[in-house]
């Protein structure tokens, strides 16, 4: 399965993914796939870094080229209040967003 397909499935089914990003093992809750400067990104909540919860919860932007060893998990997540689906940065750039359904 391609990276794009895996992320689309994870967003659609609200399933977490694991990946290595900049050498750091992470568990992410992806909320949106979008383009920026002709590159693909996801915005996701980081649930774990090196197997531990992060100090603070935040919505981070992850360049798809930097995501390695990407795998979908069986862990589900809920839409986080930090995600603003109508944010200006997604206008005309969002390819797929998480939905309430």
Q: Which residues contact 94 (CB under 8 A, 6 or more apart)?
A: 32, 33, 34
Closest CA relative to residue 46, chosen from 13, 24, 23: 24
Please report which confidence band the pLDDT of residue 3 belongs to, taking 50, 70 and 90 as the band edges. confident
In angstroms, rounded to a whole number, what is the distance separating the alpha carbons of residues 67 and 101?
27
In DSSP terms, which residues pair with 46 in a beta bridge? 28
pTM equals 0.94
Please report which confidence band the pLDDT of residue 44 belongs to, taking 50, 70 and 90 as the band edges. very high
Residue-range domain boundaries for the chain: 3-97
């Amino acid at each position: 399965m391609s990276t794009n397909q895996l992320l689309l499935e994870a967003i659609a089914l609200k399933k977490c993914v694991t990946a290595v990003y900049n050498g750091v093992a992470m568990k992410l809750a992806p909320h949106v796939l979008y383009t920026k400067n002709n590159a693909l990104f996801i915005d996701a909540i980081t649930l774990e870094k090196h197997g531990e919860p992060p100090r603070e919860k935040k919505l981070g932007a992850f360049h798809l080229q930097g995501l390695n060893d990407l795998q979908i998990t069986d862990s589900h997540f809920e839409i986080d209040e930090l995600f603003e689906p109508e944010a200006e940065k997604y206008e005309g750039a969002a390819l797929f967003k998480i939905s309430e359904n």
